[in-house]
Chains A and B, each alone.
Chain A
């Protein structure tokens, strides 16, 4: 979660799935962004059509066997908007959140996930869906907060952390900083992406939650994710791959500590 759009929650989710899978953690990915789903694409399984088997829906499995379930697998084309059936779309505010809650519950519970150690759930921007999830999953291990070092993003993210802790009563597994620096594809130099009064690490410290590390922006990473192959495996030794693996290790450690 982050609360703010555009900070790279889905990218970080895909990176973490890659990193956790490399560490031997049995990981699944659920896209809880029903209106702007993209995890099927980011995990390289966008053409998968879910099929029922033995009373459950079979998720897609990407190139490194991570099961993925996302709303975009149910929409006929990439650009098809999510429209719920109703006699009229007017007044949708009265029932839309209920049908989305039902859909989220089914995506979670009707999917044959197999044996998993970790299920990563990619949330849409805003804090509402976290509250829905907390209602559906009272034993939710923890929320991983994603933020850039943009001061605007951090203000909104800060608000979401308070919402998670004080209203939704969800534990925070930690904060991941995304797009911390930009690694130049030409010379490999590392440039700061945002400059501000407070760093993401300081934000985490201020809220008393763990800082789980930073993932640099890398132009090939975004392109690479869509193929569904493991960036870490094929770019071992690259600073971005090293950073993702480092964050995945800390996430795994934090989740293990939270679930005890």
Chain B
């Protein structure tokens, strides 16, 4: 057990970058844990078996909040068939961009599912 006091964001980020799990661990070590847990570009979706996270330390939550971890690991909203059909009706070359924008809007609004109502709301927010 080692103890350190991390006094600012830069220090905390630096220590996390070294693969140190701040707050300790509650689950066994997993292979490529640092790589997968530090990957913001969808790493955990791209490999099987999520890396361990969390800890018993009461400050872990505070650290994660301060580092924006909660915001950077949002659950990806689920698309309904109706909403996907509407995406498929638009020109293919702009589909990825529209999907990203709709997902971003859904996350901001706290929607876990993207249906046709959410898509209408996105259009409304863009003044269309």
Contact = CB atoms under 8 A, between A and B. Distances in A.
B54 interface: no
B80 interface: no
Interface string A61-103: 0000000000001111100111111111001001110110011
Contacts of B37: 85
A132 B39 CA distance: 20
A135 to B, nearest CB: 14
A107 interface: yes
Contacts of B43: 74-75
Contacts of A55: 29, 31
Contacts of B13: 86-87, 94-95
A50 interface: yes
B41 A51 contact: no
A207 to B, nearest CB: 35
Size class of the contact patch on chain A: 20 to 34
Given A49-B46, A74-B47, A106-B33, A80 B41 contact: yes
A114 interface: no
B31 A74 contact: no
Nearest to B19: A102
Contacts of A25: none
Nearest to B65: A87
Interface residues of B, number: 34
A258 B113 CA distance: 58
B31 A102 contact: no
A103 B35 contact: yes
Nearest to B51: A52
A51 B33 CA distance: 12
Interface stretch (B67-75, B81-89, B102-110): B67-75
A81 B95 CA distance: 18
A109 B41 CA distance: 22
A52 B28 CA distance: 13
Contact of A85 (B29, B32, B39, B46): B39
Interface of B: 9-10, 13-14, 16-19, 29-43, 45-49, 66-69, 72-73
Interface of A: 49-52, 55-57, 73-77, 80-88, 91, 94-96, 98-99, 102-103, 106-107, 110-111
